[in-house]
A and B are shown apart, each in its own frame.
Chain A
Amino acid sequence: MAVGAWICLLAPLAGALLITLAGTRISRRAAGLVSTLSVAVAFGGALTAFFALLGRGAEKRAESTTAWTWLSAGEFQAGLTLLVDPLSVLMALIVSGVGTLIVAYSIGYMHGAVEERRYFAYMALFVFSMLLLVLGGNFLLLLAGWGLVALSSYLLIGFEHERPSAVAAAKKAFVMNAFGDAAFALALFVLIFRTGTLDFGGAFAALDDMSSTAVNLVALGLLAGAVAKSAQIPLHTWLPDAMEGPTPVSALIHAATMVTAGVYLIVRAHPVFEAAPAISGLAAGLGAVTLLAAGLIALVQTDIKRVIAYSTMSQIGYMFLAAGIGAYASAMFHLMTHAFFKALLFLAAGIVIHALVGQQDMRQMGGLGRYMPMTRIAFWIGALALAAIPPFSGFFSKDSILASALAEGGYGVALLVAGLVGTFLTAVYTFRMLFLVFGGEPSPFVREHYHAHGGKEGPFSMTAPVATLGVLAVIGGWIQVAGLWHPLSDFLDPITIVDREHLSLMEPTLTQDLVVAAISLALSLAGIALAWLLWSARRARVPEAAAARRTLEQRLYFDWLYDRVFYAPAVAVANAWRRYVEDPVIGGSIDGIAGGARGLGGRVGQAQTGLLRTYALAIALGAALLTLVFLSAR
């Protein structure tokens, strides 16, 4: 089992190193294959660990393996430890499995792009970082993976570095993530200070001895890290901009894996959050706000990838909501199904963009269904799963979250209402996108620019992963049907068992489940109908509500606000410093030193007469003086 985990972790790293070191000695295609293969090997390693776990009883489903002591400072020690338990294996399976499909897809998508090898090295590096994050056996390794993920995300978003907007987006993502990293690290400092260890087990066991303030601080720091990584309000503004990266990057990083790391963190550190109920509630509330705000903003986006990006934010909002109220298994379940259908949507969108030579504006599209019937089917599957229509996967996972919220009662009901409204919004914006892209007659732009790939909609390396993900998006939800059977929850049980003392989570009853399912299904269908009326049948005009529309197009003014509150004052302060401190004091002193040195050099230079005898005289006088010194010092 440990071997499987190590193979899982190290294979992508080996792939990244191999591609980097081999440089131009291997072909571009070989680089893609090496990358895919390394991630596939990681998937194999995760599978072995998974099956090894399945054969064990619930009590024994956790094993940690330490390679060596990685860091040792006095009492504090942290090992290079991998933790294999149901949670980490599930995450590793999702990361490496979906990762394999997406990296394989990249071979076709990136064909002919400049610097393909660099791309594939980054991809393998990213998968390694993500696996380190999920497999790390203590908070320190988790943080290391956390930072590496941010780095590789930065590299991949800015992959097309000749475009200034891509560079700016990469920088933005990195800075926002660094904010989260800092909060995360501060939480860990508190943890080290109070408990002296970063091992999951040790730290959680010591929680009872900590003051509630300290626990709240730790939970808050971890939440800030999770919020930044998972693009939740208020640290969400980087995710839509991150769509500057190549589409497979968006699929892998900004849909399926990296942005879900925040959810993983909350689930992994759930004892901390259970000990800090206020912070858990805050997490759930942030999730609810995010899912509503992102759903609203997605309504007016015109860039196909940005619509999907906002829907990602929104869906992760559901996961935060679930994790915040303690429905960890539901959160992980939604994380898994979301990875399938969101990757599917991104990759299908990638095929569309690929076929339209890079065009991402949905207003230019239309009628593509005629040219790309298979892609349309894939998109339909993804959209239905996203809109939570049974029997597609999204229905089961979202339903279990909402049912848990209902069972929570009180605060949970407010969250449930937000979730239900979000369901409606999700259906509307998803099908708006679907109808705009595929419905109707082919637009002039499509007619002009569409080019088939050798008579097909895309190369095999692109269509095969999409087909696989399509199947998974359909059936992925069937492994757990709320109220009927729940193997996933059982599998995760040893990890996500709720400490009843701190947080009471009512298991939803079958009735609650059915009620919520009926309401959410009705809302989804209503949303689809509305979208059909507005953007497909065109029997109704889109309401003009200019003010609301502008607010949404300005993304609820978050960027504007951050610009005013953080960026502009920082610039003003920096300018003031330059004008009043740097130029006169620092610059002046440097000029003074330089001028003084030059003047002194001129003076000293005058002693340099060029006359040999003067020099000799100086030597002789010096010798006489030295002898005198020695004499008197005798």
Chain B
Amino acid sequence: MLGPDVAWYLGIAAALFATGTLGVLVRRSPLIVLLSLELMLNGANLALIGFARQFGDMGGQVFALTVMAVAASEVVVGLGLIVAMSRRRVELDVDRMNRLRG
């Protein structure tokens, strides 16, 4: 295989995942939280595809495609929620949605 070993790709995947995690945990805008979630999913996808290449098993790629479909569904629902929030004049701030506190 030309280029770097799969381990390097996995490093990128981990970095991507960590960055996404940071975004989800730090940002308060639900839109950016969603975008960060996409980053995390993509990090996982990269790892899946890297392993698929390493072991010559197409299952990883198939799984990555499935993850994409699920990510698309998640985005649809998440964006729908955001739109509904804005309809009800709720501030777009995840910290303001705390009605479920104990």
Contacts and interface: CB of A to CB of B under 8 A. Distances in A.
Chains A and B share a contact (CB less than 8 Å):
yes
Interface of A: 604-613, 616-617, 620
6 contacts: A608-B102, A610-B98, A610-B102, A611-B98, A612-B97, A613-B28
B98 A609 contact: yes
Interface hub of B28, B100, B102 (most chain A Cβ within 10 A): B102
B24 interface: yes
Contacts of A613: 24-26, 28, 94-95
Contacts of A605: 102
Interface in B19-48: 21, 24-26, 28
B88 interface: no
B99 interface: yes
Contacts of B97: 610, 612
Contacts of A617: 25
Nearest to B100: A610
B101 interface: yes
- Mostly helix, strand, loop or mixed at chain A's interface? helix
A253 B48 CA distance: 84
A612 B102 CA distance: 13
Contacts, number: 34
Contacts of A611: 94-95, 98, 101
Contacts of A604: 102
Given A616-B24, A617-B25, A606 B102 contact: yes
Nearest to B37: A616
B28 A610 contact: no
B101 A608 contact: yes
Interface residues of B, number: 13
A99 to B, nearest CB: 69
Nearest to B21: A620
A401 to B, nearest CB: 83
A33 B28 CA distance: 84
Nearest to A621: B25
Contacts of B21: 620
Q: Please provide the 6 A-B residue pairs with the shortest distance between their CB atoms, ordered closest to farther.
A: A610-B101, A608-B102, A605-B102, A610-B98, A610-B100, A612-B94
B69 to A, nearest CB: 23
Given A606-B102, A611-B95, 9 more contacts: A604-B102, A609-B98, A610-B98, A611-B101, A613-B24, A613-B26, A613-B94, A613-B95, A620-B21
Contacts of B95: 611-613
Interface in B82-100: 94-95, 97-100
A608 B100 CA distance: 8
Contacts of A607: 102
Nearest to A609: B101
B60 to A, nearest CB: 20
A255 B98 CA distance: 78
Contacts of A610: 97-102
A560 to B, nearest CB: 63
Contact of A616 (B25, B100, B101, B102): B25
Contacts of A606: 102
Interface string B47-82: 000000000000000000000000000000000000
A616 B98 CA distance: 14
Nearest to B28: A613
Contacts of A620: 21, 25
Contacts of A616: 24-25
Contacts of B26: 613
A630 to B, nearest CB: 15
Contacts of B102: 604-610
B74 to A, nearest CB: 15
A617 B33 CA distance: 13
Nearest to A617: B25
A620 B19 CA distance: 12
A612 B94 CA distance: 7
B101 to A, nearest CB: 3
A617 B94 CA distance: 13
A613 B25 CA distance: 6
Contacts of A608: 100-102
